[in-house]
């Protein structure tokens, strides 16, 4: 890597790698807990767990979209357009 190329490193590859690892850990935890709730026939906990998992999966796998959504919501709540 030449000195000119060093300045062009953005870190997106590392960010993507970390998000993939976090996503895989999330899926493993989701499956283990879901099987436990399903086996015990705790349907309310099972459905609640799935709903929360969908939100968290959206945050992990659609990071840029989630950030845009949160900025828009903050702009609506605080009254600052384009926040």
Q: What's the pLDDT at 24?
A: 84
State the maximum Cα–Cα separation within the chain, in Å, rounded to a whole number: 60
- CA 25 to chain CA centroid, Å, is 11
Question: Is there a contact between 37 and 46 (Cβ–Cβ < 8 Å)?
Answer: yes
Which two three-digit tokens encode residue 74? 């903050």
Neighbours of 43 (CB within 10 A): 10
Q: How confident is the model at residue 81 (pLDDT cuts 50, 70, 90)?
A: low
Whether pTM > 0.85 for this model: the answer is no
């Amino acid at each position: 890597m030449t000195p000119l190329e060093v300045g062009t490193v953005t870190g997106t590859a590392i960010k993507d790698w970390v998000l993939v690892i976090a996503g895989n850990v999330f899926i493993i935890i989701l499956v283990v807990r879901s099987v436990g709730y399903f086996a015990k026939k705790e349907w309310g906990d099972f459905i609640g767990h799935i709903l929360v998992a969908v939100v968290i999966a959206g945050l992990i796998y659609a990071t840029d979209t989630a950030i845009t959504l949160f900025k828009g919501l903050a702009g609506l709540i605080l009254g600052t357009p384009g926040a």
